[in-house]
Structure 1
Amino acid sequence: MTDTPHTDTLDAYRPNVGIVVFNRDNQVWIGKRFGVGGHFSWQFPQGGVDKGEDLEAAALRELYEETGIRSVTLLGRTQDWVVYDFPPEVLANKKIGRNFKGQKQIWFAYRFDGEDTEVDLEAHGEQEFERWEWCDLETVIDRVVSFKRDSYRTVIGQFQNLI
C-alpha cells in the first residue's frame, strides 16, 4: 500500500524516514542487510523518527548511523507519507512489528559530495548493512524484499526526475 491512507489510520504506522543517496554518476547507494540472506535483502537506508525529532534531522542521523555518510546536499523529499504494511512474519517479530501495522515514511534524496572511503558500515555500532554498492535507480526494485516494492516504486517515481 503506497497511497496515503486516511489520516485517522496513520497512527497505526510507525513514523520512519528513508534516504536515497545519488552519487556524481546518478547511481544510488544500496546496502545488503546485515545477516539477511537471499537476493532480496538490499535496501536504501531508513529508520525510525524519535518523538519530536525533525524529519530531515532524523534522515541525516539515520544516514550517518547506517552508512557513515555525512557529505550530502539535499535534492528533494516526498511531500506525503509513503506507507506500507508489514507482512505477517514481520508483525510476529515483536521487535520490529510491535504496536504498528506497518511504516509511514517521508523520503529524502541527497547528492553524495564525498568520497567512497567515507562509507563506514560500522559507524554506529549496531550494523545495519554488511555490504554496499552504487547501482542504477531502475534496478533497485529487483533487489528489494517484496513487501517494500510498491513503496520503492512510489519513491523512485518521485525522485527519478532528480537525475
Structure 2
Amino acid sequence: MKDVSTLPYRPCVGIMLVNPHGKVFVGKRIDNREGDWWQMPQGGIDEGEDLRAAAHRELWEETGVAREQVTFLSQTREELLYDLPEELVGKLWKGKYRGQRQHWFLGRFEGTDTDIDLNAHRPPEFSEWKWVEAELLPDLIVPFKKRVYRAVLEEFRALI
C-alpha cells in the first residue's frame, strides 16, 4: 500500500448553482448506494483547461445546463482541499490521488427547470435532482466533504 501522504490532490472545480429563488441545485449520485447523499456539481479539470471553462463543462455534463443559462457571480478566494476516507483511497481515480483540491464557482441559473437534463452526458452522474435551501448543504453531503461545503456556503452566503 502506498503512503497516502505522498499522493497529490486531484484538481477540480465545483459549482454552486442557485436559482432565482435562492435555492441551490443538488444531485443524488448514481454510484453512491450507501446513503442518501446529495451534492453540487463538481469534477476534474482537464490538462491545460481554464477554471471557468472547466466549470461550464462540468455543469453541462452533469446537469445539461448550457453556458448561456448560467452567470458566474463569484469564485472562492482559495482552493478548498479534502482527503478521501482511507477506505476510498485506491478505489477512486485509479488510486492516483489522496483527495481533491477544488475551485468553487457561484452561478446564477437563468434557465428553467425543464432545461436541466441529467442525461446530457453519458454516463449520467446523478439519478435525481432538487433545489434546496443553501443552509441544508452541509447536512446533505457525504461526511468527508462537509467542511468544504461549509466553507463554500460561508464564502458565497451573501451573494445567494
Aligned to 2:52: 56
Instruction: Confirm or deny: 8 A CA contact 2:90 2:96 kept in the other structure.
Output: no
Partners of 2:20 and 2:111 lie apart in 1 by 10
TM-score (norm 2): 0.91
Per the alignment, residue 66 of structure 1 pairs with: 62
Which consecutive unaligned segments of at least 5 residues does structure 1 have?
A: 1-8
How far apart, in 2, do the equivalents of 1:38 and 1:69 lie? Answer: 28
| 8 Å contact from structure 2 (residues 134, 153) kept in 1 | yes
In structure 1, distance between residues paired with 2:94 and 2:102: 15
Matches of 2:80 and 2:32, distance apart in 1: 24
Q: For residue 44 of structure 1, what is the amino acid of its counterpart?
A: M
Give the number of equivalent residue pairs: 154
Q: CA separation of 1:149/1:98 partners in 2, compared to 1, >3 Å: closer, same or farther?
A: same
User: Is 1:151 the equivalent of 2:141?
Assistant: no
For residues 113-163 of structure 1, the C-alpha deviation after alignment (integer angstroms, 9 at most, x for no partner) is: 001000000101111000000000001111110000001111111011112
> Is 2:33 the partner of 1:37?
yes
CA contact (8 A) 2:10 2:97 kept: yes
* Distance in 1 between residues matched to 2:12 and 2:83, nearest whole Å: 13
**RMSD over equivalenced CA pairs, Å:** 1.7
Identity of aligned residues (%): 45
Partner of 2:98: 101
Counterpart code for 2:40: F
Per-residue CA deviations over 1:3-59 (Å, capped at 9, x if unaligned) read xxxxxx9x8111000000000000000000114235442100000000100001000
The one-letter amino acid of 1:103's match is Q
| 8 Å contact kept, 1:91–1:101 | yes
- Aligned match for 1:19, one of 11, 15, 21: 15
Runs of 4+ in 1 over 6 A off after TM superposition: none
Find the aligned partners of 2:127 and 2:46 in 1 and give their Cα distance.
25
Which 10-residue stretch deviates more, 139-148 or 38-47? 38-47
Q: Deviations over 1:62-87 (max 9, x none)?
A: 00000001110111011210000011
Q: Quick one: distance in 2 between partners of 1:42 and 1:31?
A: 5
Q: 1:80 to 1:86 in 2, by over 3 A?
A: same
Q: Give the TM-score normalised by structure 1.
A: 0.89
One-letter amino acid of the counterpart of residue 152, structure 2: V
